[in-house]
Amino acid sequence: MLKTRFTELVGVEYPIVQGGMQWVGRAELVAAVANAGALGFITALTQPTPEDLAKEIKRCKELTDKPFGVNLTILPALKPPPYAEYRRAIIEAGVKVVETAGYNPEEHISDFKSHGIKVIHKCTAVRHALKAERIGADAISIDGFECAGHPGEDDIPGLILIPAAADKVKIPMIASGGFADGRGLVAALALGAEGVNMGTRFMCTVESPIHQKIKEQIVANDERATDLIFRTLKNTARVAKNAVSQEVVAIERKGGATIDDIKHLVAGARGKVVYEEGDPDYGIWSAGMVQGLIHDIPTCAELVRKIVSDAEAIIAQRLDRMAGRG
């Protein structure tokens, strides 16, 4: 059994996390992850209102009696969502674990912790992890450059970022970006993490609430099938490579691009349609370089079980043999 400080902190069997994913982190996936012994997160802002979030949390509780959490991502916006109301919905629903991401989470962490909620903050740099630790986060999720979504602006891959953070961060830390199998879990543990966070891999499961054609596209894609957009806007995002992402990249390469030049291409509503209707070229959708390691569409239980058994076999057999003990 792979017990770590992280599994003990959040009360799960295995050091595997399904982090928050816009339009994807819904009750059916999160409950399946929880029932498999890992930790899943409902994505708060996927729900149109705080009231809808409360209903989604209730729905998840009806599907599992295992621990699960809620992701609250703080985004820059001219008209930001009612974060305090989403936060209140999480607290009143009795959720015990929250994943925060994005901009400064200090007020959220303080409020959550005053209600006994454990907070994991997602970071893309060691300096950000140390700040999150200082303001009260209970654990860190450190995102390497390989990850889907926003990898930050430093372009530091996990092989460097994970041990660099582990050298300085004292609270439990999980590794994110490029993880899909038992080999990755063992590598993360060896580098100093106490678990792994997977997004793209959990998108490609039976219970994932996205169209089958998108899951099949992830399987068909390789490690080169992503694009980095918003580079010139200093808000880099890694997305699945398609006709729309290539058009965004071309516009940015011309220089001087503003959000107004590309907003019709990157609208979140178009990405939602991708997941609902299965047209991978309709809009922007997130996926990591780890697509190159995804070759099937298992249930969450099958996926978690295989990752754990493969990791245990590597630790017990391969590493011992290399050390001359097997």
pLDDT number for residue 314: 93
φ/ψ (deg, to 5) at 191: -80, -5
Pairing type for strands 69-74 and 237-240 reads unpaired
Burial class (CB in 10 A: 0-12, 13-18, 19+), 178: buried
Domain map of the chain by residue range?
5-210+295-322, 212-289
Length of the chain: 326
pLDDT tens digit at each of 326 positions of the chain:
689 999 999 999 999 999 999 999 999 999 999 999 999 999 999 999 999 999 999 999 999 999 999 999 998 777 899 999 999 999 999 999 999 999 889 999 999 999 999 999 999 999 999 999 999 999 999 999 999 999 999 999 999 999 999 999 999 999 999 999 999 999 999 999 999 999 999 999 999 999 999 999 999 999 999 999 999 999 999 999 999 999 999 999 998 899 999 999 999 999 999 999 999 999 999 999 999 999 999 999 999 999 999 999 999 987 667 777 65
pLDDT number for residue 325: 66
- If one counts every other C-beta atom within 10 angstroms of the C-beta of residue 158, the result is 26
* CATH number given to 5-210+295-322: 3.20.20.70
Q: How far is CA 294 from CA 11, 163, 204, 227, 241, in A?
A: 28, 25, 8, 18, 16
pLDDT number for residue 161: 98
Give the separation between CA 286 and CA 270, rounded to whole angstroms: 12
Q: How far is CA 119 from CA 124, 223, 255, 261, 289, in A?
A: 16, 31, 39, 37, 27
Residues facing 173 on adjacent strands: 140
